[in-house]
Amino acid sequence: MIMIMTVDLGHVLLVHGKKLQDLYKVPFFPEIIFCKMIKALGVLVLCVKISLTLAYRPVFIYHGILTGADSMKHLVKRIETIHPDTVVYNFERFGGWSSLENAWHQVLEAQTNLKAVCDLHPEEGINMIGYSQGGLLGRAVLQTYPDHCVKTFISLSSPQAGQFGDDFLHLIFPSLVAKTAYQLFYTYVGQHTSVGNYWNDPNHQDLFEEYSIFLPYINNHIISTNSSQFRDTLLRLDRLVLIGGPDDGVITPWESSHFSFYNESFAVVPLQESLIYIEDLIGLKTLEENGRLDIIERKNVHHYEWHRRDDIIDSVILPYLD
């Protein structure tokens, strides 16, 4: 929450014929009358009326796959109800089937939208929420935007370490099964789809590294000329919030929402034991050591409820929207 002091200079005396009419915005106390002695070739009494305004940072919301901005309207309404006067930017592009377009294309296009928002709020900055695929792509938007203005990034049930599972796959490609999906996704054609860009098959890591053009790079699993930037931009955040739960039913494994994933034996490797954390590839270890990484687990929440249940929104999202 930003505390803003608005100064009314409607009754300010003139100094050498010029009115002091700038507005100052600084932390202060509730409405009072403040008088100050100013010396400017003599002594003048400046009386100003000070009003306190409680303002929340603007929020940028990035929707999930095969949906769009309309699917996030309940979350928008809840934010505006509990945090009145919050400016909410509900990302409208790449809705429906266009959300399956190549991940890099979506990320670079979404970056132009986020930049436009940041240009409107250069001082106070904004908070950002990415749901499902939007949390993964939204994180990549930050990594490709060195001067982003995002203070808190909330990843809401997003496949940050990738996706591997039939339940999710059948929602989009009913005829595919996880065991053989690599035959499509780890090809030139398959890499034209967002799902293929973050499909992470534990049985075919060699093909994942050879063909995947997105996830292994933004996670710095494969080092590139952009690796330092991908890490530094996340470290610009005041806070990174990772939210997920065992009853999600879509993100597989659900721990991917916390950057944990299967090993070759299909055992989930906890974040703190994973290479991305141990070697601090994208700054997760640094964020946690500095108290800027929050990992939240909630049971009995299905994937489609994270942004629609008021109790969840109130307990794991709103507290981070300062």
251 touches 132 (CB < 8 A): yes
Q: Is 303 a catalytic residue?
A: yes
Q: Is residue 2 part of a domain?
A: no
**Helices 133-143, 103-120: crossing angle, 10 deg rounding:** 70
CATH number of domain containing 102: 3.40.50.1820
Range of the domain at 152: 59-161+223-320
pLDDT at 215 over 70: yes
User: Is the CA virtual torsion 99, 104, 107, 109 positive or negative?
Assistant: negative
136 occurs within a structural domain: yes
Would you say residue 11 has pLDDT above 50?
no
pLDDT digits (tens, 9 = 90+) for 163-175: 999 988 988 999 8
Q: Cα–Cα distance between 150 and 57 in angstroms, integer? A: 10
Residue 66 placed within a domain? yes
Catalytic site residue from 204, 248, 257, 307: 248
Instruction: Mark whether 311 is an active-site residue.
Output: no
- Per annotation, catalytic residue among 132, 155, 194, 260: 132
Let me know if residue 203 belongs to a domain. no
How many structural domains does the chain have? 1
Backbone φ and ψ of 3, nearest 5°: -95, 115
pLDDT tens readout for residues 137-159:
999 999 999 999 999 999 999 99
How far, in Å, CA of 23 to CA of 25, rounded? 7
User: In the chain, where do the E strands start and end?
Assistant: 2-8, 14-15, 18-19, 32-39, 43-55, 59-62, 88-90, 126-131, 150-156, 239-244, 261-262, 268-269, 293-297
Query: Is 167 noted as a catalytic residue in this protein?
Result: no
Residue 296 in any domain: the answer is yes
Please tell me the distance from the alpha carbon of residue 161 to that of residue 262, in angstroms, as a whole number: 9
Please identify which of the residues 63, 204, 258, 303 carries the catalytic annotation: 303
Q: Is a pLDDT exceeding 90 seen at residue 51?
A: no
pLDDT at position 15, please? 35
Tell me, yes or no, whether 236 lies in a domain: yes
Q: Which two structure tokens, joined as six digits, stand for 86?
A: 């919050």
At residue 184's C-alpha, the angle toward residues 178 and 185, to 5°, is 80
Confidence check: pLDDT of 31 > 90: no
pLDDT category of residue 232 using cuts at 50, 70 and 90: very high
Q: How far apart are CA 152 and CA 130, in angstroms?
A: 11
C-alpha–C-alpha distance, residues 161 and 251, integer Å: 10
